[in-house]
Structure 1
Amino acid sequence: MNGKHKTGSRRKNVPFPANTSTTRCLFSSKMNSSKRAGEAKFTCSGCERKFLLPTITNAYRCYKCDSVANSTLGSEQSRKDSGVCKHDQLNNAYPNGALLPPSASCSLSLSMTMGNKRAVICGVTYGKRKFKLEGTINDVNNMKNLLLDNFKFPIGCIRVLTEEQKDPNLIPTKKNILDSLNWLVKDCQSEDSLVFYFSGHGLQQPEDRKGDEIDGLDETICPVDFLREGMITDNEINSIIVQPLKQGVTLHAIIDACHSGTTLDLLYLCKKEKGSWKWKDNKPPHSKETMTTQTNGGLAICLSACEDGQMAADTAAFDGNRFNGLVTYLFSQIIRDNPEITYGGLLEKLHQEIGNIHQSKFSNSILKRIFHRKIDQDPHLSSSEKFDIATRIFKL
């Protein structure tokens, strides 16, 4: 067991953390696109929550109260005019707030995804294992609501993978996560906005491409069946959702897991030096890797919960007895409170909030009980290309 969390330390074997109760490291105890279809505001007849539906919709299931009702928005003509995405023939995330097919008897594989926004949200609890995580389901709901409410993602364009799903294709197994990542970028076109969110365990392992990692370790995310099927490496994620990005397509990945700093293997890291944020080259100095790991003209941006050598916290400090990923909770609150925040402002506020936890921990008895160790994590921004984080507004 290796309890060191410094980014600069090189570890030959997979580094497991020292025993702690609040991290998302494994073995802790707690822890085509055609033009957009027309949209209209709709009020759920069950809970009266307001949300957007495409005009092609004949029926809907509310993601808040799960009630199903007919809609008068849909018509045969609107279906012809709306430009429904033809490339989405995979199983879509209809449970937990998604569009229903025109006929209730239709197979769920008949997708109704439309427009130029698409998201895969994945939260892994790991069942009843000793390294079970408490907050990932809350993280998923938090992120889903953020996409719907703040960034106006159509409900049917969000695929949710959790162990609570009834559809076996939406359980966060390795196969289902990889299938969903392929769905996310399939036939992406200019002006598409794509989001991949992951809440779960992250690890490192010796690199499988010699010389492509500065520290000699590949970053990984852990599906629910990783003990049998293996982890998903940063190289796999890069090849599936980064390299296919065409000109004008933007992908945002938000990874709330340990060792997640370079999970997408992007070319540039944003580091703070002498009080200001600067882009640094993430390519190892003696690497023989070519630019094939980069996009096909699009832009990939990743917000990670911590640096590669750090651990990410799972905490109930902010929401009663409900556990949440620390960075997911802070990120969503900051975005809701500051809808026009820049990337630089977001980074500053994340670091400031975690710094406030450090300062108050030793004078606050409640935080002492919740955080059993110092929260040694620095949220991390990486990108496939440099941009001005001080002026660019954070948008999904």
Structure 2
Amino acid sequence: MVIKIVCLRCRQKLTVPAYAEKITCGKCGEVNPIIKKPSPATSLEQGKISKPMEKLKKLLLGNTQRLSDSSGSSSSPPSKLCALDESGNQPPAKKRAVLCGVSYKKWKYKLKGTINDVMNMKTLLTQTYGFLERNILVLTALMTKKQYLIQPTEEESDTRLIPTKANIETCLKWLVNGCQKGDSLVFYYSGHGLRQPDFNQDERDGFDETICPVDFLREGMIVDNDIYATIVKPLSEGVTLHAIVDACHSGTILDLEHVYERDKRMWVDNSPPSGVRKKTSGGIAYSISACEDNQIAADTSALNSKTINGAMTYILIDVVRGNLNITYGDLLDQIETRIEDANQQGWFGGSRILSKLFGPNLTQKPLLSASEEFPVYERKFKL
């Protein structure tokens, strides 16, 4: 019996015996661990981690400083997944990205544009901003309804790169692990976003924002507090993080302390009412979200007759490609203006939550937040 995997580095398809625990890619030399698909009776139904998954975690997690999450628990950040050079040392990755897209196939609230969004964002990073493919982790998969199990599809056949809660958390730790002055990091997410009551007095509106991994019905959502603790708090001096999140209720998904109000042309305080400070460790974090915390985001074909895309993602990429010297303020203005124009013309017939729940006119205003205030019409947007 044999199994098929895809090389983590060069994406070459490999065939290996079922009993093997690792394989060296004949094309690029990458050593790939073999992760067997867990049986529903053990790993999924009982919530246990299979032995192959434990081996993968040991491979990815190094003896580096531990990161604390919002609840006070901790977990070790993974070592870089990029390839080793001939000397066995990990090459520096000045630019690194994690891109996630979830479609929720066969569900009532399925999304049709998320995979397109991820591929377009990857193209922007590699062709416009010089990111190397080996330093970009792409997590994409569809979700089937049957028993809430994860079924690899044509989008992703490697179980390590399916956007489960555990995989996303592991890759986010990889994103910031070992970051150094001058590094540029990007986290992109296209999928469902939800809200849940906040009981820690961290939120001014009383709700935590969340993203929904492919297995969120079984494993739960990823909360903004945990995203902050994983990829914002560890940012050291000279490191820049951009989060671009195309999801409903995604406005303050990074829990950054400063939110820019475009209508008032001013920054407003978003620090927790509890008094807890949510700062970086010296770096700077930016977040561009598809909508405000109480709004929904559109998935539409109106902006491109050939494909369905997230409205914010499609417009952001189109605007940036047309003006590489654009400022954050001008970028925000153009995204909102084009979304407003499309909305007034009735283009957003489909949405990420049924229109009947929220009304036919889908108000969607992109939101910019940051770990520090800055002149939005002077600073250029650059990944």
Question: Same-fold call, TM > 0.5?
Answer: yes
| C-alpha contact 2:94 2:184 (8 A) present in aligned 1 | yes
Structure 1 position 69, deviation (Å):
10
Question: For each residue in 1:115-146, what CA deviation from the matched residue of structure 2 results, as whole angstroms up to 9, or x when unmatched?
Answer: 31100000011132222110000000000000
Q: Which runs of 5+ in 1 are unaligned?
A: 1-58, 63-67, 72-85, 94-98, 104-109, 362-366
Specify whether residues 198 and 244 from structure 1 end up closer, same or farther in structure 2 by C-alpha distance, changes over 3 A only. same
1:375 Cα deviation from its structure 2 partner: 2.9
1:230 maps to what in 2? Answer: 220
Provide the secondary structure at the position in 2 that maps to 1:160.
strand
- How far apart, CA to CA, are the structure 2 residues paired with 1:339 and 1:281? 29
- Map 1:356-367 onto structure 2 (within 5 A): 356-361=341-346, 367=347
Match of 1:130 among 101, 105, 108: 108
Instruction: Name the CA distance, whole Å, in 2 between partners of 1:113 and 1:330.
Output: 34
The 5 Å alignment of 1:1-396 reads 60=10, 90=79, 92=81, 114-163=92-141, 164-209=155-200, 211-274=201-264, 277-284=265-272, 287-291=273-277, 293-361=278-346, 367=347, 373-396=360-383
How far the C-alpha of 1:338 sits from its partner, in A, is: 0.9
Pairwise CA RMSD: 2.6
Aligned-partner SS, 2:345:
helix
Q: How has the CA–CA distance of structure 1 residues 179 and 317 changed in structure 2, closer, same or farther, with 3 Å as cutoff? A: same
Specify whether residues 368 and 326 from structure 1 end up closer, same or farther in structure 2 by C-alpha distance, changes over 3 A only: closer
1:268 and 1:182 map into 2 onto residues whose CA distance is: 24
Partner Cα separation in structure 1 for residue 236 and residue 348 of structure 2:
48
Query: Offset at 1:360?
Result: 3.0
For residue 93 of structure 2, give the secondary structure of its aligned residue in structure 1: coil
Structure of greater relative contact order (alpha carbons < 8 Å, 6+ residues apart)? 1
Unaligned runs of 5+ in 2: 1-8, 13-24, 29-61, 65-76, 142-154
Once the two structures are TM-superposed, the CA of residue 354 in structure 1 deviates from its matched residue by 1.1
Amino acid at match of 2:139: L
Supply the AA of the counterpart residue of 1:92: L
AA matched with 1:383: A
- 1:321 Cα deviation from its structure 2 partner: 4.4
SS in 2 for 1:149: helix
CA offsets per residue over residues 71-124 of structure 1, 9 Å max, x none? 9xxxxxxxxxxxxxx99965738xxxxx7x789xxxxxx996643110000001
Structure 1 counterpart of 2:334, one-letter code: K
Check conservation: 1:90, 1:111, Cα contact below 8 A: no
Distance 1:198 1:272, change over 3 A: same
* Cα distance change, pair 168–111 in 1 and its aligned pair in 2 (3 A): farther
Change (3 A) 1:386 1:228: same
Tell me how far apart the structure 1 counterparts of residues 179 and 138 of structure 2 sit (CA, whole Å): 19
